[in-house]
Amino acid sequence: WDYRCEPPRRASSVFCLWQARPPVIGILSALGNFLAQMIEKKRKKENSRSLDVGGPLRYAVYGFFFTGPLSHFFYFFMEHWIPPEVPLAGLRRLLLDRLVFAPAFLMLFFLIMNFLEGKDASAFAAKMRRGFWPALRMNWRVWTPLQFININYVPLKFRVLFANLAALFWYAYLASLGK
């Protein structure tokens, strides 16, 4: 995990995107869905060995193309926009993450998953009405302490990795909402 990029002040910051390791993030996302399926089978006491391979594939696509790149640029953006010298920088970053990024990212998650599942706009609207607020409230409960640690104590170059290791379980929760 060799990170040598600066916050996006240079043209080379697009190259730095790949330091977010989209393949690893895609795999972690897929594992979250796989974990949700395994938990669901145990909960229902199902003995079948069949799994929905489409679920982990959709989560891998989402992790590879959206979670990794967006998280990478968001953490760099926060570091640039709210430098450490600013009074209460950690609190300001946390509020930006929790009140702006989290709701937008969750809405994007529902939208992309709806698209990858081949569902129409009415299915997206129904899923948003049914699942967005419960998921956002759970997000605030689970992710606020994790993001406090991530933003304030984890070096910038490891924040995406830290968040995505924690997201393994978060994606299992989100996948369970789809059932």
Higher model confidence: residue 33 or residue 1? 33
pLDDT at 174: 67
Supply angle C-alpha 176, 178, 179, rounded to 5.
Answer: 70
pLDDT, tens digit (0-9, with 9 covering 90-100), for 108-143: 999 999 999 999 999 999 999 999 999 999 999 999
Q: Name the 3-class secondary structure at 155.
A: coil
Element (H, E) at 145: helix 133-153
- Whole-Å CA distances, 21 to 7, 27, 98, 117, 171: 17, 10, 23, 25, 18
pLDDT at 3: 43
pLDDT at 157: 84
pLDDT at 8: 47
16-41: average pLDDT: 75
Q: Which residues contact 9 (CB under 8 A, 6 or more apart)?
A: 80
Q: So where are the chain's domains?
A: 53-178
Cβ atoms 107, 153 nearer than 8 A = no
- Whole-Å CA distances, 159 to 4, 51, 114, 134, 166: 14, 31, 28, 26, 11
58-80: average pLDDT: 90
Q: Percentage of the chain surpassing pLDDT 90?
A: 51
Single out the residue of 25, 20, 14 nearest to residue 62, CA to CA: 25
By CB neighbour count within 10 A (0-12 exposed, 13-18 middle, 19+ buried), where does 29 fall? Answer: buried
For the chain, what is the total number of helices (H) and then of strands (E)? Answer: 9, 0
Average of per-residue pLDDT values in the chain: 84
pLDDT exceeds 50 at position 177: yes
> Which of 8-22, 60-74, 96-110 is modeled with the greatest confidence?
96-110
pTM: 0.80
Residues 150, 156, 69, 76: is their CA dihedral positive or negative? positive
